[in-house]
Amino acid sequence: MTRLFRISDQGLIESRRKPLDLESRIEDWVARDLSLVGVDGIIIGRQVATDHGKRIDLLAMDEDGNLIIIELKRDRSPRDIVGQVLDYASWVRHLTTKDVHELTRAVTGRALPDLYRDRYGKAVPETLNASHQMIVVASEVDEATKRIIEYLSEEHDVGINASFFNIFGAEGHEWLTTDSLLDQEEVKDRAVKKARAPWSGLYYITGGAEEDRPWEELRRYGFFTADGGRHYTNQLDRLEVGAPIFYYQKKTGYLGCGRVTTAKMLASDYVLADGRVLTDVLPVRYLTQFADDPDRAAYVVGVEWLRTFDRAEAKTYQGIFANQAIACKIYDQQTADFLRQEFGVAREDSE
């Protein structure tokens, strides 16, 4: 049991624990600062109405587009609130990307891309709600409820956790303490892993839209690049030499498949097959900007393009896998099968 003391010249003055009877205050605090429950995300709805006639206290979304249900215990028993949050999850899991966009605008009055860009400074992921988590907020839960939450999360990879809020008061002042039953990042990792299909063996790469990196330049000179800081350029480390890659252009579709031929290096160090330096042949802004600053400079990997298409022949369909990551693995099996077929790649050739 947590005890809180104020240190004074007269000794330790114990603060008295106060009832968690002002859930609206806690809801406001969490809405303003999701880190209180171990979440890095944005609020996309408060008191969100479900099709089951209930309302979710807070609905949030993390950087990857996963939804998080946050529910205060209020006057319900610990087991009742766990049952309630699982019921909410049964509704949330059916929300499509379109549903999430429409819900956010309806509840907040703002477009989700604007909310997301304000928080993360980049475009919202194209695919949302691939996974979800649940957080119960309470002053405490009984041991049986703790065991149920631990069992669901640790044994069955259900994304559920409990966050404990306690308010203490003394001499006209109040203090708040927070703690979690389980590590929230571990809860998220288990839930995401369960929701995700086995890796297809293929890699996804994207350079943004045509105006960001013209496709013909990447295709002609045989490379892929990233810039904008270590957060982005370090993603090229995921691409080992020989990795099978598929290039996606935002607002267009998939344009090329190939294999990585070199490890990541500064764009200014990349030498073409004819002996010329890439940045001498192609002195464009996305390759040369911040060339003297290793933390901000552009990096490249060499690519042997095995099959490519012009932009007018881009390969895509409604709901195809696309992501804001510079480079990542493709887990969506439908997308992997489609790409192998459209690009004429045998399964054994891409593993």
Tokens matching residue 300: 């490249």
Q: How far apart are the first and last CA of the chain?
A: 53
Residues 100 and 112: their CA atoms lie apart, in Å, by 8
Q: Which residues, in sequence order, are CB contacts of 318 under 8 Å at separation 6+?
A: none
Give the Cα separation of 201 and 350 in Å (integer).
Answer: 7
Beta carbons within 8 Å of 298's beta carbon, 6+ residues apart: 225, 226, 227, 233, 266, 267, 286, 287, 288, 289, 290, 291
pLDDT at 53: 87
Each of the 351 residues of the chain gets a pLDDT tens digit; together they read 677 777 778 777 777 776 655 667 888 999 999 999 999 999 999 999 999 889 999 999 999 899 999 999 877 787 788 999 999 999 999 999 999 999 999 999 999 999 999 998 888 887 889 899 999 998 888 899 999 999 999 999 999 999 988 878 777 777 888 889 999 989 998 888 787 778 899 999 999 999 999 999 999 999 999 998 888 899 999 999 999 999 999 999 999 999 999 999 999 999 999 999 999 999 999 999 999 999 999 999 999 999 999 999 999 998 898 887 899 999 888 999 999 999 998 765 555
- 122, two tokens: 């980049």
Q: Three-state secondary structure along 201-237?
A: CCEEEECCCCCCCCHHHHHHHCEEEECCCHHHHHHHH
H-helix or E-strand spanning residue 122: none
| Domain definitions of the chain by residue range | 4-195, 203-350
Structural element, H or E, at residue 238:
none
Residue 349: the pLDDT is 55
Residue located via tokens 């369960």: 194
Domain 4-195, CATH: 3.40.1350.10
Compute the distance between CA of residue 44 and CA of residue 67 in angstroms, rounded to an integer.
9
Secondary structure (3-state) at 272: coil
Q: How many angstroms separate the CA atoms of 257 and 204, rounded?
A: 10
* Predicted local confidence at residue 323, as pLDDT: 81
Q: Kindly give the pairing relationship between strand 299-308 and strand 265-266.
A: antiparallel
In which element (H, E) is residue 68 found?
Answer: strand 67-72
* Beta-strand pair 223-226/299-308: antiparallel
Q: 208 and 197 in contact (C-beta within 8 Å)?
A: no
- How far apart, in Å, are the Cα atoms of 338 and each of 97, 129, 244, 330? 21, 22, 15, 12
Spell out a b/e string for 195-209, using b for 16 or more CB atoms within 10 Å of the CB, else e: beeeebebbbbbbbe
CATH code for the part of the protein at 203-350: 3.10.590
Structural element, H or E, at residue 168: strand 160-170
User: What's the pTM value of the predicted model, to 2 decimals?
Assistant: 0.60
And the tokens for 247? Answer: 């290039």
Other CB atoms within 10 Å distance of the CB of residue 213: 21
Count of residues in the chain: 351
The whole-number pLDDT of residue 21 equals: 57
